[in-house]
């Protein structure tokens, strides 16, 4: 495994996912992860949990099965202006925020429109930590613009195992994204976007892509869980 923290994971609270939080924590411990982020879909997705799900995440222990569980969400980018579907109040209880484009929420536009959606989300929403699966083929983007913006604003870009494994992202898109990140020194997160506990932390497809471009290990933010927890502690002052 190349990561100690998987920072994009779904429980059965997202009803197209299939595992409980305890099952996910048990699998994470089994596979040697030290942390994972629980990032169920925010409310604009048709099968998302109610907003109360996110406000009540604080009842979860910070550690389950000796694995740190970050309280998070995958918010939906709603427009090329970068609007998202959670308020500052909704986000105030969270420790990790992924921001993604999903077909039920935002229709694919031109390359410029799609790029603006990600870039403006980064610029306008301080709570966002990482841009999710921007390599999916249905949303063509300018990776140089996104990588440069994320570097400037201290955000991460995700290399998403699930989107590669299940054919939503091409290797070519991932390579283009990684090369842009290398050029600007933009850090990435390698995440599974797992919807089933047995997949947590497992990144064989993306590992091959990283090797193919000789991507620097120092730019993989979640290789070491300690770095993730230090970042979260400084940003949210809660770990």
Instruction: Report how far Cα 105 is from the mean position of its chain's Cα atoms.
Output: 17
Tell me the residue range of the domain where 186 lies: 5-236
Give the whole-angstrom CA distance, residue 128 versus residue 73: 10
**pLDDT tens digit sequence for 156-212:** 999 999 999 999 999 999 999 999 999 999 999 999 999 999 999 999 999 999 999
Angle between helix 171-184 and helix 204-212 axes, rounded to 10 deg = 60
C-alpha distances out from residue 153 to 108, 118, 149, Å: 24, 12, 6
Angle between helix 143-153 and helix 171-184 axes, rounded to 10 deg = 40
User: Is the distance from CB of 113 to CB of 139 less than 8 angstroms?
Assistant: no
User: Taking the CA atoms of the chain, what radius of gyration do you get in angstroms?
Assistant: 16
Polymer length of the chain: 239
Does residue 115 have a pLDDT over 70? yes
Structure tokens at 185: 């020194």
DSSP 8-state code for residue 126: T
Residue 239 pLDDT grade (very low, low, confident, very high; cuts 50, 70, 90): low
Q: Which of 120, 150, 140, 129 is nearest to 229 (CA)?
A: 129
pTM score of the predicted model: 0.97
Residue 144, domain CATH:
3.20.20.140
User: Is the distance from CB of 156 to CB of 177 less than 8 angstroms?
Assistant: no
Structure tokens at 234: 């400084």
What pLDDT, on a 0 to 100 scale, did the predictor assign at position 236?
A: 78
- Residue 147, H or E segment: helix 143-153
Domains in the chain, number: 1
Sign of CA dihedral 34, 211, 216, 175: negative
Q: Which residues contact 1 (CB under 8 A, 6 or more apart)?
A: 31, 32, 33, 201, 202, 203
Residue 238 pLDDT grade (very low, low, confident, very high; cuts 50, 70, 90): low
Sign of CA dihedral 134, 210, 195, 91: negative
What pLDDT, on a 0 to 100 scale, did the predictor assign at position 228?
A: 97
Give the whole-angstrom CA distance, residue 179 versus residue 185: 10
């Amino acid at each position: 495994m190349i990561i100690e923290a998987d920072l994009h994971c779904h429980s059965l609270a997202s009803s197209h996912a299939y595992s409980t939080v305890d099952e996910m924590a048990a699998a994470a411990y089994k596979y040697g992860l030290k942390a994972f982020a629980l990032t169920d879909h925010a409310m604009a997705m048709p099968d998302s949990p109610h907003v109360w799900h996110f406000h009540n995440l604080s009842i979860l222990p910070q550690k389950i099965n000796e694995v740190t569980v970050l309280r998070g969400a995958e918010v939906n980018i709603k427009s090329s202006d970068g609007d998202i579907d959670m308020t500052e109040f909704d986000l105030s209880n969270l420790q990790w925020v992924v921001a993604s484009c999903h077909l039920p929420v935002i229709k694919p536009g031109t390359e410029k429109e799609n790029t603006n959606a990600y870039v403006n989300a980064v610029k306008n929403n301080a709570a966002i930590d990482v841009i999710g699966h921007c390599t999916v083929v249905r949303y063509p983007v300018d990776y140089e613009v996104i990588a440069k913006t994320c570097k400037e604003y201290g955000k991460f870009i995700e290399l998403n195992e699930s989107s590669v494994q299940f054919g939503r992202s091409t290797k070519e898109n991932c390579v283009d994204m990684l090369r842009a990140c290398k050029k600007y020194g933009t850090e990435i997160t390698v995440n599974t976007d797992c919807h089933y506990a047995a997949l947590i932390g497992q990144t064989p497809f993306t590992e091959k892509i990283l090797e193919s471009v000789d991507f620097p290990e120092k730019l993989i933010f979640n290789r070491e869980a300690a770095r993730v927890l230090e970042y979260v502690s400084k940003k949210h002052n809660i770990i």
